[in-house]
Each structure stands twice: as structure tokens, then as C-alpha cells.
Amino acid sequence: MAIIAQKVYQKCKIWLLFAMLSLGVNNCTEDRNAGFDQMPKEWLTAKAEIETYSAIDSSKAFSLAKKFQEQHPNSELAQVICLLGYAETYRFWYNNTLATEYAKKAASAAKKIGYLEGQVQADLLIVETTKECDTCLDYLLNIEKTIQSNASVFKVKTIFRLYHDMGYYHYEISDTKTAKYYFFQASELAKKNQLFLEESIAKSALGSVFSREENLNKAITFHQQAIAKCQQNAPSECGNHYYEYAIALLELKRYDDALKAILTAKKLYKAHPHPFNAGEIDGILGTIYLKQKNYEKAEKSYLTFYKKARFSSTKIWAHNLLTNYYYTIGDFKNAFINSQKSVRMRDSVYSNERTYTSVAKRTSFELAQKDEEVQAANVRLRYAIIIGICILLITLTFGFLVYRNHQLAKQLTQLEQEKLQQKIDFEQRKLATTTLHLSQQSDLLQNIKKEIEQLNENAEPSLRTKIKHLLKTIDSNTNNENEWDKFKLHFEAVSPHFFEILRQRSSSITELDLKHCAYLKINLSPKQVAQILGISPKSVTLSRVRIKKKLQLDENEQLNTYLQSI
């Protein structure tokens, strides 16, 4: 229900939010915030130091916050600053419980004194350290409303953080479309305000979204952009970008490039005080070695990953990786042992109902130990049968697809031919209509010419010169040869090589015969052809008999059918 409510709210508010944030960002700078107007300069400096050291030296950040709190024990605003510093520090120490506790205290204190910037920062910290998705949604919606109402009082980095957390939340619930929207907004905001590190973080997040959508080439592009942007401005912060880049390369089976990227990430993590995914490096590294069939290094990396795992979920992942590794090398005993450990640990974390499955698997393993050779043979036979069935299904599917593709191609060809024939028929009808129209126009002009010639006999000498000029004009417009040339040009565009084929069939065929054939090709009747050529319909019929003999057609073969086939 929470997700549905969020989507409905999103449709109604998203553009209003964007407009208000745009106005707010344009009217504020990095250091402008309503809550800071009355804050002493040394407080601003102390707050900036605490925020800076939270990311690079948490111990010093903690000491600075504690010192600042002791210096200003009676200031509520100072208490908010210190609580935020403690929350950020515990977050980087991976103590999410304490981080959430201090963040909630900071949010409450900031709300009490009307310090919106601090309240939003605290709420974002709660979102980033809690594991309850419904709670995350509630906080994000409240933050969104707060920023909508007071967009101009927030720093650019705070708005960026909202965009990023919104995108990450939707990424977690697999709403990749909305996730991409927020990550793109975060990227554009960072680019506009020259926050180069934040811009690289947003681009890396976009790469992860495209990886989830299996658009790996686009994911690679965004990861490369993130690395390039980060290397120019904060090279020591590139570890996570290389880590995500390596995962995308691994999916693309570019194992050498993936290995190079993950080793670079490992090197950067080693030098960084608070690496983001340091514990997972060896897991990805082992997978790459396994794909490269470097089994010794793969096992070593997986075991290192397991030893470094801080959380139960990470240990489960490590057991699954080891299960896959031992199964790949044929060590089914260790594969089963790690699978069993993974199931037991997953049961303890997620559900007690899976205990029965774990017991059943343990019993099966004990029985398998007594007859290991038989069990191994059964496993191989089972896999052989499954592989055989899969190959058969794939073959049948491929055969069906090939047959279906052939049928579709055949239908497409037929449709294209029908469409082409319709176009040819249309052009032929158009040509026939035009030819008849020109013939009728020529006859009309000839009749007019005869009447003018009769008038010329009785005309005065002064008019005869004009009448003579008029007769020449009529003659020039009733030139049958010119009309034939124009007709021939349009006809060959519709039926190319028609006349050439007829001439090759019979060397005795004349230009008049070609005219008869062309008119027959466009389905003109003997009466219409007679009208065009100025002869009788009977002469047209006799001409067609003569043409059939010249073309050496059989008695049963129709001239019209032959001409239509050309």
C-alpha cells in the first residue's frame, strides 16, 4: 500500500516539486540557508569541519562534535549540529542503530527550533540508516513536502541528497523508471552547481540502474563517465565507481577488464578511511577469478570475503559464493556443507519455517555419505538427462522459431508483392486515363482545326495570317509523336524493359506494334485504342492477331496474358 500511495502522490506532485526545487536552487547558493543567518561565523566553520571529517576521518569528526557541544551546552542549535555530526559519524562506522537514534534526536530538536535544513538532513540520515522500507517512504514524502514549501532555504547538497535517496529507494523496490528520473535530476543539479563528486555519484547510480535493466552497454557508459568525473576532482573517492564498473564488466563477461577495475577499487579502498563496499571487494574478485578458471585465487578471495563479512546477509552471500565455487570444481561435499550453512543462517535471520528444509538436507547428506559413489553417479545422470531435455527443448524451440520466421517472411513477401502489384495497377489505370484524355483532347483540336480551315476559306485576307498562325499552334499541340514519347516515358517507369523484351522476342515488330502492346498492357479496349490511334476497332483486332504471330505465341496462348506477364 505504501508503494501504491507513493506512486499516486508522485504523479500529482512530481512536476510541482521539480518546478519549486528549480526556483529554489536558482535563488540559493552553497552557503545560503535561512537557519544560518543568525549563526556565528565560527559555528559555520565548526559545522563545515564536522561534515568534512565525517567522510574522511570519523574519529576526528566525533571529537570535534563533542568539543563543540561542550563549548555551547545551552544552545539548541549547537545541539542539533552536534547530533547530526554524531549520526553521520556512526553511519560511517556502520553502526546504523546509533546513527538512526542520533538522527531522530537531531530531527526532533531541529523541528522544535524551526531549523528546516537540520531537520531535513536528519530525516535523510534516518532514511539512509533504517531498514524499514515503509518508514523510508514516509520520511521521503515528508521531506519532499517540506522542500516543496520552503525550496529556497535549502543548500544544493541537501536537495541533491534528497534526489539521490529518492532514486536509491525506488532502485531498492525495483521501480527503475522512477529511480532513473531522480538520479538524472541529481546528476543535472550537481552538474549545474559544479558539484563534481556528487555528479559522479549520480552517474554511477544511473549505471547501476541500467545494469538492473540489463542494458549493460549503457551502464558501462555511465560508470566510465562517473570514473572520469571523479578522477578529475576527487581521485581517492573513485573506489565505489570502479567497484560498480567491475560488476557491469563481469556481467558482460569482460573478465580481464573487470579484474583490472576491481583491483583498482581494492587499492583505492585500502587507502580510504571509509570505503563504501570494502567488504564485498573480495567476493567480486573471487567471482572474476572463478570465471577465469583461476580456482586457487578464487577460493582464497572467497574465504577472505567470508572472514571480513560484518553482517549476516553478507555471510550468507559468502556461503552461496563458496557453494557455487566448490560445485564448479566438483567438490560436492564442501558445496553441500556451505549450502547447508547458508540455509541455516538464512533461517535464523529470516524465517524459522526453513528449519525443516535444513534438517531434510542434512539427512540427505548423511545418507549420501554412506553411498557417495552411487549418489555422484545419480547426480551426473540427472544432470545429463536435464541437459539432454534442455537441448531438445532448445532445438525444438529454435526449429519452431525458424519455421515461424520463414512463414512470416513468406507472408511479408507476399504482402509486399501484392502492394507492389496494386501500385502498378494504379499507375497503369492512371496512365490509361491520361492517354484517353490526351486522345480526346487531340480529336477536339482536330475538329476545331477543320472548322477554322472552313472559316479560312471565306475569311478576309487580313485575318488569314492570324488564322494560319492559329492552325500552326493547333498542329504543334496535336503532334502524335510527342504524345507517344511522353506516354512511353511514363509507361517505362511503370513497366521497365517492356519494349526491350518485345524487340528481343521478335525483330520484325514495329513501333506501331509496340504502341498496340503498350495500350493492351494497360488494359485499354480495342475501341479505346482505335480512338487513340485514329483507326477502326476492327483494324485494332487485326493488328493484335498480326502481333501474336510475330511474337510466335501458341494458338492457345492469349496475347493479353503474355503481355501482362512481362
The grid coordinates of residue 22 equal 528549480
Query: Are the CB atoms for 137 and 2 separated by under 8 Å?
Result: yes
Query: Are the CB atoms for 207 and 220 separated by under 8 Å?
Result: yes
Residues 6+ apart with CB under 8 A from 7: 175, 178
Among 283, 304, 281, 285, residue whose Cα is nearest residue 294: 285
Pairwise CA distance, residues 177 & 164, whole Å? 14
Dihedral class, residue 136 (left if φ above 0, else alpha if ψ from -120 to 50, else beta): alpha
Pairwise CA distance, residues 279 & 308, whole Å? 6
Query: Are the CB atoms for 141 and 13 separated by under 8 Å?
Result: no
Pairwise CA distance, residues 226 & 241, whole Å? 7
Radius of gyration for the alpha carbons in the chain, expressed in angstroms and rounded: 43
Pairwise CA distance, residues 382 & 389, whole Å? 11
Query: Are the CB atoms for 325 and 290 separated by under 8 Å?
Result: yes
Pairwise CA distance, residues 549 & 554, whole Å? 9
Half-sphere exposure of 246 (CA within 13 A, CB side): 27
The CA-based diameter of the chain, rounded to the nearest angstrom, is 134
Pairwise CA distance, residues 401 & 346, whole Å? 42
Query: Are the CB atoms for 13 and 148 separated by under 8 Å?
Result: yes
Q: Find where cell 553417479 sits.
A: 377
Pairwise CA distance, residues 257 & 211, whole Å? 16
Pairwise CA distance, residues 154 & 189, whole Å? 13
pLDDT tens, per residue, the chain with 566 residues: 333 334 433 434 333 343 344 444 343 333 334 444 456 777 878 787 887 777 667 778 888 888 888 888 888 888 888 899 888 888 877 788 888 899 899 989 988 888 888 888 888 888 888 765 556 777 787 888 888 788 778 888 888 988 898 888 888 888 899 999 999 999 999 999 999 989 999 999 999 999 999 999 999 999 999 999 999 888 888 888 999 999 999 999 999 999 999 999 989 888 876 676 667 889 899 999 999 999 999 999 999 988 888 777 788 888 899 999 899 999 888 889 988 888 888 766 554 433 333 334 444 445 555 667 778 888 888 889 999 999 999 999 998 989 988 888 888 888 887 777 777 667 666 776 666 666 666 666 666 777 777 777 776 776 777 777 777 776 666 555 566 777 787 788 778 888 888 888 888 889 888 888 988 888 888 888 887 877 888 888 898 889 988 888 888 888 888 888 88
Residue 210: predicted pLDDT:
94
Pairwise CA distance, residues 94 & 279, whole Å? 12
Pairwise CA distance, residues 357 & 125, whole Å? 39
Among 273, 188, 272, 197, residue whose Cα is nearest residue 228: 197
In 3-state terms, what secondary structure has residue 35?
helix
Pairwise CA distance, residues 123 & 143, whole Å? 7
Residue 18: predicted pLDDT:
39
Residue 437: predicted pLDDT:
64
